[in-house]
Amino acid sequence: MEPYDSSADTNKHRKFVRMLMYGLAKDIMERADHHDDSKLDHPEKELFDEFTPKLKGCTYGSPEYKEFLLGLKTALDHHYAVNRHHPEHFPDGMNEMNLVDLVELICDWFAATMRHDDGDIYKSLEINKGRFHMDEQTVALLKNTVDTYFRGFNHKDYDDLKLLDD
């Protein structure tokens, strides 16, 4: 019997994994191109025009923040209904999300911290851990993603960012 050469099986496996990963990457890129499109249309835009400047100056999770969210209720209800990267989109919250949803969610949460004068993704993750009933493993996954991919970004980077349409 000839010795087994695993090269063909390994290359077939690699090709199949590549195909699967490209499918995920394609979905992530599509989501990146259309993230929060609904905020630019009625019924969201008018309310975000009013409340975004107010939210910038308050602390995430504070009583003032929660009061502003009440004013945004109509916009948020619509936003959550049409955007699956929010746990509120699903009846069972994060338990129904998939990995691509989580990728968009952590990018969204990190970018949101850049919009608050005192934004801190690690504090936000601790607040959201309770808010969305996240287990330690999920929180660790999100923190590890921040540490690996976002650590070099800060508020100045956000403030200096040019609009995609410029």
**Do 103 and 163 share a structural domain?**
yes
Instruction: Write the pLDDT tens digit of every residue in 52-90.
Output: 999 888 888 899 999 999 999 999 999 999 999 999 999
Integer Cα distance of 54 and 67 in angstroms: 11
Q: Which of 23, 50, 83 lies at the terminal end of a domain, its last residue?
A: 83
Determine, yes or no, domain membership for 158: yes
Residue 79, domain extent? 35-83
pTM of the model: 0.89
Determine, yes or no, domain membership for 91: no
Within its chain, how far is the Cα of 142 from the centroid? 10
- The residues, any chain, with a CB within 8 Å of residue 134's CB and separated by 6 or more, are 94, 128, 142
**Do 159 and 110 share a structural domain?**
yes
- The residues, any chain, with a CB within 8 Å of residue 119's CB and separated by 6 or more, are 60, 112, 113, 155
